């Protein structure tokens, strides 16, 4: 049986600290060299090679929430200071059709690193591609 992870434990696995343990979807290490982001499992494309945000799917109010704003800041930090590299936490939603979604289960994927290849800070849309 695999380990049951809390969201907090996933962040700790990467030695990153989220701004707020209740609403953060991303975190950064104290020295700023590691950024970890939470990604919905069902929104990966081509296996786990590509991830596109879906802020345009009618997730009411998501773009104005503190967790989203922090996520965009951390993605910009990774782009500007970490060669675009981020670590991922995979989240499985309680209900895929809910808005906003909540996490049923999550786990880190230390074997996979992604790179921020697109980031629109105004809209909050972003693209991550797997580093090979």
How crowded is the C-beta side of 29, counted as CA atoms within 13 Å? 14
- Is 74 in a helix, a strand, or coil? helix
- Going residue by residue through the chain (132 aa), what tens digit of pLDDT does each one get? 468 999 999 999 999 999 998 889 999 999 999 999 999 999 999 999 999 987 544 455 455 566 789 999 999 999 999 999 999 999 999 998 887 888 999 999 999 999 999 999 988 899 999 999
Whole-prediction pTM value? 0.89
Contacts of residue 126, defined as CB under 8 A and 6 or more positions apart, other chains included, come to: 52, 53, 72, 75, 116, 118, 119, 120
From CA 122, how far away is CA 124, in angstroms rounded?
Answer: 6
């Amino acid at each position: 049986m695999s380990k049951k992870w809390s969201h907090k434990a996933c962040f700790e696995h990467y030695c990153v600290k989220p701004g707020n343990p209740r609403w953060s979807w991303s975190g950064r290490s104290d020295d700023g060299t590691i950024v970890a982001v939470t990604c919905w499992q069902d929104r990966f494309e081509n296996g786990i090679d590509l991830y596109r945000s879906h802020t345009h799917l009618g997730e009411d109010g998501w773009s104005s929430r503190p967790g989203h704003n922090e996520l965009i800041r951390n993605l910009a930090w990774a782009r500007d200071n970490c060669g675009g590299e981020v670590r991922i936490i995979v989240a499985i939603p309680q209900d895929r059709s809910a808005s906003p979604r909540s996490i049923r289960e999550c786990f880190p994927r230390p074997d996979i690193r992604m790179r921020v290849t697109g980031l629109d800070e105004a809209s909050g849309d972003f693209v991550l591609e797997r580093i090979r």
